[in-house]
Structure 1
Amino acid sequence: MHDSDRLPNLLGAAALAITDRALANIAGATGVSASAAAAVVVLSASPGLGVTELGRRIGLSQSATARMVDSLEATGLARRAPGTGRLVLVTLTDRGRRTASTVLRTRDDAVAELLSGFGKEERVALEGLLGKLLARLYEDVGNADLLCRLCDRGCCVEGAVCPVGQAERDEAGR
């Protein structure tokens, strides 16, 4: 083992464990993969995306996204519709919209349970620190849609400024 700062190790372990917990709970509640979960959440916020744009937002190639959309169609979660020219638009079915809601609720429940032992002041402090961390992550990722692919967009902007959206606006203004 090498000498290092303990904080990155703790944060890395926590981030991985939280992700594993949330994705396992989502898969258990919905039966969909992590990429399918991201796709239904993205499509619930932005219906009618093309396959290529959907892939960009969830971090998959066009061909992998097309296969995933095939799977979403086969399970009755999404449907394709012709767009302009060769563009094919993807929208959610009613079942897909319910699945997106379940994904967000399940993710929130998995994380909220972990936060239940934190006091109000700790939660406020953690929220501020996570906002800074997400702004820094935006610098690395450079794509708010990809970074926030499993975010409840409405939740993040009610009574506050989304730190990722603000980082994106700051970058565009430079």
Structure 2
Amino acid sequence: MHDGVRLSNLLGAAALAITDRTLSGISAAAGIGASPAAAVVVLSGSPGLGITELGRRVGLSQSAAARMVDSLEAADLARRASGTGRFVRVTLTDHGRRTVSKVLGARDEALAEVLSGFDEGERKALESLLGKLLTGLYQEVGNADLLCRLCDRGSCVDGAVCPVGQAERDERGGA
């Protein structure tokens, strides 16, 4: 098999397995699917978003986001609040904030298991390679909020620079 195709296959299989493991852990711990999990994480960092913006940040159309917010309200994870004019803000409930902790904890646990076979040097090398990969993905996707929708943002920038955030700043001409 050609090296480029083999590498693509390995990366694709790893990406799917990691995604499956992570989403399964989130679903088991928090009892919600991928989009609602991303929505509560996004809302934890940006309370009061409008439905359209929330949808943009989790990769949903406005109508799909409105249906998702309906389900978040039904599960007592979020609530709508009136804004100015027709604008409707979405905020987390107390139950929603506790769910964010479950989502991020399950995500961290699943990913820690995936990384457990690597020694410290391999982890540093992988961190560097993933930074480069994410910088390139940002150039393609052009949306840091979407790429980082399930990130624990505080931990990503604790003593380091987020590669996605840096790519976004570079594109906008900032430092």
TM-score range, shorter chain: over 0.9
Aligned to 1:135: 135
Return the alpha-carbon distance in structure 1 between the equivalents of residues 33 and 121 of structure 2.
35
Aligned to 1:45: 45
Aligned to 1:91: 91
After TM superposition, give the deviation of residue 48 of structure 1 in Å: 0.4
Return the alpha-carbon distance in structure 2 between the equivalents of residues 85 and 120 of structure 1.
53
Gaps of 5+ in 2: none
State how 1:1-174 maps to structure 2 within 5 Å: 3=2, 5=4, 6-173=6-173
Return the alpha-carbon distance in structure 2 between the equivalents of residues 101 and 129 of structure 1.
28
Aligned-residue CA RMSD in angstroms? 1.1
Return the alpha-carbon distance in structure 2 between the equivalents of residues 19 and 108 of structure 1.
12
Return the alpha-carbon distance in structure 2 between the equivalents of residues 158 and 40 of structure 1.
22
After TM superposition, give the deviation of residue 167 of structure 1 in Å: 0.2
CA offset digits 1:36-79 (Å, max 9, x no partner) = 00000000010000000000000000000000000000010000
TM-score (norm 2): 0.96
Q: Percent of aligned positions with the same letter in both sequences?
A: 75
Counterpart AA for 1:100:
V
Counterpart AA for 2:155:
C
State the secondary structure of the residue aligned to 1:90: strand
Structure 1 segments, 4+ long, off by >6 Å, are none
After TM superposition, give the deviation of residue 31 of structure 1 in Å: 1.1
Counterpart AA for 2:15:
A
After TM superposition, give the deviation of residue 14 of structure 1 in Å: 0.2
Return the alpha-carbon distance in structure 2 between the equivalents of residues 95 and 171 of structure 1.
37
TM-score (norm 1): 0.97
After TM superposition, give the deviation of residue 4 of structure 1 in Å: 5.4
State the secondary structure of the residue aligned to 1:91: strand
CA offset digits 1:118-143 (Å, max 9, x no partner) = 11101011001000000000011100
After TM superposition, give the deviation of residue 148 of structure 1 in Å: 0.4
Gaps of 5+ in 1: none
Q: How many aligned positions are there? A: 173
Counterpart AA for 2:99:
T
